[in-house]
Structure 1
């Protein structure tokens, strides 16, 4: 009987150690690498557009100009999503200054009897709170600039980190788009020649899976934008269109986009309707929207396209968020798609290995 080859060879152990060190470095340096990871994900998505633009011009368009055009359009699209907030804030800010006294009075009237029923006889005097809030909302530029600067000093590291993120992502994206082909060739050159065929097949399968993910995520965003806009309009919300479109398009940032849209809709509803109607509107529209996204859209349009079970989608978001924070949530599903391809190949390799076959043969002999 011929002996089966060893399962763990020194070469394989060496590559496993290298992969472990790389993963450890990513985990330890996640805050520093965050803008570069985001830029790399954007470069992967946008580089085919750069190549297509060059081909459409017959190669006459310089690559640097093609990169500038594609990156400008991409950043303009992201900025357009953010600018959807402008009409919301412009409309709600003066209404907020007018409605806050009445809202606080209503809160006092509603909350005090409820607390008394619970056996908590508390006398709420919101006059001082109303005075402070109105002074802050009515302050001129010189009045509010001082506390803003003080808060930036207290949270200076967070403010600098955000500013660095905003600056570094476009810069890193530009250089990655310019050098993407060379970087990929350099990466492939590091792969041992006898592994090249397996590596090329793995990368091709990952490209196909990630393409399905991007198309599925785009469909999810469009469906949710329509749902939230129509749902809020049926309740008669004046700002239904910008809030609905923003919430739907911002779901590419899990949790944050949904949460911000919910807060904006609740605030707009409280300023336009009675508090009860606003709460019902938000509970119905955003509750149904979250259920539709979690149970139907993401599992069907994203999870099934890349072969992930709905529970695996939830687990991936939680696990990558725990390991890498906000950036982990952003890359959870694409990274899970790549891991899924690797696991499929490992499973196929195991089923065809001597280890599995010998166990199967021994079981059949005993039978």
Structure 2
């Protein structure tokens, strides 16, 4: 078998097979790039179906049929989304209005307090380079012209009848596609598994399980941690009397997938808000704000992450940021949706490639060394060749070597 693999014909055939798979991957990426505008609801529906499939399987194991389990899970997902929209949207709208109204107060604090304090300690003339009055006025002017985020979004969509129709179609298609992906997820997985070559089924199954674990650790686990932290920060900041506590808490929770960044950003925003709100140094309010984020970090480290995410290997924060930005740059919103699944699979494949490399002769050094120079050190070569022969020769018989 080794003699066959060493022949030039075998090497050429293997190269052609690899080239075929590379061309197939290039064609798939090109098709995805061309079909990106219509693939978004399908990808989002597949992600929602994947997220809900474990709960459907659990209900099936308890004796319910697949259709009943899918209906229950789909109804639960719809209910949670509806409740989130009904509760969060009005609260966030009020918080944004409060932020817009208090912008002059933030401007005055920034110009009259923060910048002079920084100039006195750094010696830099910051007011020459920064013009807060013009910046705040520009923000207020454009916000009033837009009439809010919703008006901006729908105004943009209404400028193109086709875009508006496509948006409506995607919204209508999303629940339908999610329901079908929930119902047929196990069937789709089984059909894909049938297509895998039998001599690679064990390796592919292992890589698929590891990819699922990595993605689940981030999407299912970390997403729940983000929601829990957002709720803890928002409720805690509201209870201590911070006017923009809900908005700051939600923002800090949503970016908490990057370790320490969510808490650090939340602390900075909350401290600045507390200083402006108190028109000075309110030590009690600052201590309460610090206590809220301290409790949130302790709960994340010792309760939320160990119990929800567990010890599964997740994605590195730098990989997450790069994947989302690269996906958005290459394929727009579709690329951002597919960024994390692709990054999870790439992470698993890189670990598998590293494992195979450490088991190869190239890494272990078991191959016969290749002489790249015409000059050979005769003494070292003779010593290396004579040692094994001398060990195998009978007593009194010398192996090949120098006389």
TM-score using structure 1 length: 0.65
Which of 70, 73, 77 is residue 74 of structure 1 equivalent to? 77
5+ residue gaps, structure 1, are: 138-145
Secondary structure (helix, strand or coil) at the match of 1:84 reads helix
Partners of 2:39 and 2:334 within 8 A in 1? no
**Of residues 314, 321, 327 in structure 2, which corresponds to 1:320?**
327
Query: Which protein shows a greater Rg?
Result: 2
Q: Once the two structures are superposed, what CA deviation does each residue of 1:271-290 show, in whole Å capped at 9, x if it has no partner?
A: x947989xx99xx99xx99x
Shift of 1:189: 1.8
Structure 2 residue aligned with 1:203: 208
Using the TM superposition, give the Cα deviation of residue 225 of structure 1 relative to its aligned residue in structure 2, in angstroms.
Answer: 1.3
- Closer, same or farther in 2 for the Cα pair 1:310/1:252, shift >3 Å? closer
1:246-261 to 2 correspondences below 5 Å: 246-247=250-251, 250-251=254-255
- Work out which of the residue numbers 21, 26, 35 in structure 2 matches 1:20: 26
CA contact (8 A) 1:152 1:159 kept: yes
- Show the counterpart of 1:176: 181
Q: In the alignment, is residue 214 of structure 1 matched against residue 219 of structure 2?
A: yes
CA distance in 1, matches of 2:370, 2:222: 45
User: Does 2:174 correspond to 1:166?
Assistant: no
Aligned 8 A contact 2:233 2:252 in 1: yes
Cα offset for 1:173? 0.9
User: Which residue is equivalent to 1:140?
Assistant: none
User: Pairwise mapping of residues 44-55 of structure 1 onto structure 2 (< 5 A)?
Assistant: 44-55=50-61
Cα distance between partner residues in 2 of 1:317 and 1:310: 11
Q: Per-residue displacement from partner, 1:168-212 (whole Å, max 9, x unpaired)?
A: 211111111222222222212222222222222222222232232
Describe the SS at the equivalent of 1:213. Answer: helix
Counterpart secondary structure, 2:369: helix
Name 2:347's counterpart in structure 1: 340
Count of matched residue pairs: 333
Task: Please list every run of at least 4 consecutive aligned residues from structure 1 whose deviation after the TM superposition is greater than 6 angstroms.
Answer: 93-97, 100-107, 129-137, 146-150, 274-277, 299-304, 363-367
Distance 1:133 1:175, change over 3 A: closer
Residue 245 of structure 1, CA deviation = 5.9
- Equivalent residue, structure 2, for 1:42: 48
Residues 70-94 of structure 1: per-residue CA shift (max 9 Å, x gap): 1121132233333333442574688
Kept after mapping to 1: 8 A contact 2:49/2:178: yes
Structure 1 residues 218-257: aligned runs within 5 Å? 218-222=223-227, 224-226=229-231, 228-229=233-234, 232-233=237-238, 236-238=241-243, 240=245, 242-243=246-247, 246-247=250-251, 250-251=254-255
C-alpha separation in 2, matches of 1:104 and 1:310: 32
Is contact 1:84–1:243 with CA below 8 Å preserved after alignment? no
Aligned to 2:122: none
CA distance in 1, matches of 2:169, 2:256: 22
Secondary structure of 2:11's partner? coil
Cα 1:55–1:147 shift into 2, 3 Å: closer
Structure 2 unaligned residues grouped into runs of 5+: 117-126, 372-379, 385-403
Relative contact order: is structure 1 or structure 2 higher (C-alpha 8 Å, sep ≥ 6)?
Answer: 1
Point out the more displaced range, 222-231 or 46-55. Answer: 222-231
Distance 2:358 2:103 in 1: 70
- Choose the corresponding residue for 2:87, options 84, 89, 94: 84
Moved more, 35-44 or 2-11: 2-11
Structure 1 contact 227–244 (Cα < 8 Å) conserved: no
2-side partners of 1:330 and 1:67: how far apart? 23
Give the TM-score normalised by structure 2: 0.60
Q: Deviations over 1:310-354 (max 9, x none)?
A: 433332232223223233334423321211112222233344446
Q: In structure 2, what is the equivalent of residue 142 of structure 1?
A: none
Q: How does 1:82-121 map to 2 (within 5 A)?
A: 82-88=85-91, 91=94, 99=101, 118=128
* Aligned mates of 2:29, 2:145 — CA distance in 1: 51
